Amino acid sequence: MTAPPEKAAPSNPAAAVGPAAFVRMTAPAEKAAPSNGKKTVTIYTDGGCLGNPGPGGYGVVLISGPRRRELSGGFRKTTNNRMELLACVEALSALKFPCRASLRSDSQYVVNGIEKGWARRWRSRGWRRNKTDMAENIDLWARLLDLCDVHDVTFQWVRGHAGDPENERCDRLANAASAGADLRPDTPYETNRTRVPPEAPDFPGATGEAIFS
């Protein structure tokens, strides 16, 4: 998010009807996409926090044909970049089989990290940006790259607060989530483990557990 968060009424993502390609559907499931093609999904994401670092949240809108689903979540202390990344991770994690996804984000950090190959290059170097510095937010980049290996994803940058209704909706979802009560901890950030390679034995999520406790 690029502007101070506006106040927004908390949404109820669970009330939205999920597209057939998404998990935890509220409508009867359709048959899986035929083997000769993948279901197409359009995804909008946004994330940010108050203060950077500070209380943060993410918002997601997934659209598949006539169906849509919204996701959001908040954390008590995190950063803008982590919430932008987590929005993408949560969006792609909601797809229950391999899809062709067009993911639209107003974060150049996220879009360039994937489309310009930065994240894959960091991973190939043991998560080092250069000879001396580790990449930041390794925990989330690792999850995002794994999901991109499952799905056919194209990342597209959209200008924030430029009138795109779905981007604006994600912004409101993220703002409402960051202002919620009983926010969860962003454990890797609060324990200073955002630069820990995922192969480390004590890395959260390495055994399939939720990365946020």
Work out the burial of residue 199: count CB atoms within 10 Å of its CB; fewer than 13 is exposed, 13-18 middle, 19 or more buried: exposed
Residue 199 annotated to the active site: no
Of 117, 126, 161, 199, the active-site residue reads 161
Instruction: Please indicate whether residue 84 is annotated as part of the active site.
Output: yes
18, 47, 57, 74: which one is catalytic?
Answer: 47
46 part of the active site: yes
Cα torsion angle, 75, 161, 100, 95, sign: positive
CA separation for the pair 122, 16 (Å, rounded): 37
The answer to whether residue 186 is catalytic is: no
Q: Are 160 and 185 in contact (CB under 8 A)?
A: no
The values of phi and psi at residue 128, to 5°, are -105, 135
Cα maximum dimension of the chain:
52
Task: Give CA angle at 16 (11, 21), nearest 5°.
Answer: 130
Among 70, 139, 166, 171, the active-site one is 171
Tell me if residue 164 is catalytic.
no
- Whether 40 and 64 have beta carbons less than 8 Å apart is answered as yes
Tell me the C-alpha distance between 106 and 1, whole Å.
7
Q: Which of 70, 84, 139, 166 is catalytic?
A: 84
**Catalytic residue chosen out of the listed positions 106, 139, 166, 186:** 106
Our answer to whether residue 161 is catalytic in this structure is yes
Sheet-wide strand order for 152-157: 67-78, 54-64, 40-49, 100-105, 152-157
Active site residues: 46-47, 84, 106, 161, 171
